[in-house]
Amino acid sequence: MFNGPACEARGSRTGYFHAPAPRQHKTNAMPNDPRPSLSYDTLPRHATISVSDDGETITLTAPAREDAGHQARRRLARSSALSAGVYSAGVLMLIGALSYGVIRANWAYIPGSAAPLAGIFVLALFALLWQSVYRKQLDAVVGPLQQTTIVAVRPQRLLIETYGPMGVESHDLTRTQVRDIKLLLDVRDGSLGDETMTDWLTIFTHDGQMVRLLPARDREELKWVGRLLRKTLGIEPADAV
């Protein structure tokens, strides 16, 4: 394990360190400095990850979150609307099949106001199912966001500590061990384990390991972290996350 702000202290409760927060500042790399010049203003608007640089090590801290990001909510709203539409169509087909004979036999007695009432019923059914599906999917996203992750990176070293409902892991990787860093859609695990697909920033090693980080965070946030890690470690091209 290499020295740095992310390695100075270890908490007795979790068995993992709780790093003192270094002073955050923008850093302009010297002409002979192999590390990249950081531009923190490029962090996505809704990002909650903090970045610091002590001159030797770049430290990223992703604290646990209690709510989903803007992009995640928008993506969930679209996917849940599609699911609610399918469910609504199935319910309406079932109702139509069960009541077809009655409606046909009494068609002449059905008032004209039945059409707008039927439309209101359909919209209400869709809204109810949409809200139900959305809340379920949102709860599935919020769980992984409660994972806390700290990453410390140098040009030749990568240190990772993470703990929370998705499990507890500690990794110390050299540059020669890291093969690639990519955004990956994969099933989640840990105490929340199920078949829900979750976005991860994934580090692939030459010996076949996959180290998954920052579950369920906004994709732009994951891509930003991935580009920073690739650039610092010298993995080309730096933006191929």
CA distance 66 to 63: 10
Q: Which domains does the chain have, with CATH numbers?
A: 5-65+146-233 (2.30.29), 70-143 (no CATH)
Between 156 and 239, the more confident residue is 156
Q: Express as a percent the part of the chain with pLDDT over 70.
A: 76
Q: What residue type is 9 in one-letter code?
A: A
What average pLDDT does the segment 82-107 reach? Answer: 87
Between 118 and 171, the more confident residue is 171
User: Average per-residue pLDDT in the chain?
Assistant: 78
In this prediction, residue 228 carries a pLDDT of: 92
Between strands 58-62 and 148-154, the pairing is: antiparallel
For 47, 170, 178, 185, 188, the CA distances from 215, given in Å and listed in that order, are: 14, 16, 20, 10, 8
Q: Express as a percent the part of the chain with pLDDT over 90.
A: 30
Find out whether 21 and 52 touch, Cβ atoms under 8 Å: yes
In this prediction, residue 9 carries a pLDDT of: 38
Find out whether 217 and 233 touch, Cβ atoms under 8 Å: no
Question: Tokens representing 78?
Answer: 């679209």
Listed range (62-66, 129-133, 149-153, 186-190) with the worst mean pLDDT: 186-190
Does 139 score more than 90 pLDDT?
A: no
Q: Does 237 sit behind a cis peptide bond, omega within 30 degrees of 0 on the bond before it?
A: yes
Listed range (52-61, 105-114, 193-202, 228-237) with the worst mean pLDDT: 193-202
In this prediction, residue 49 carries a pLDDT of: 87
What average pLDDT does the segment 127-146 reach? Answer: 82
In this prediction, residue 12 carries a pLDDT of: 36
Listed range (51-55, 116-120, 136-140) with the worst mean pLDDT: 136-140
Does 2 score more than 90 pLDDT?
A: no
Q: Using 50, 70 and 90 to split pLDDT, how confident is the model at 134?
A: confident
In this prediction, residue 196 carries a pLDDT of: 66
In this prediction, residue 181 carries a pLDDT of: 95
Does 15 score more than 60 pLDDT?
A: no
CA distance 24 to 39: 12
Does 70 score more than 50 pLDDT?
A: yes
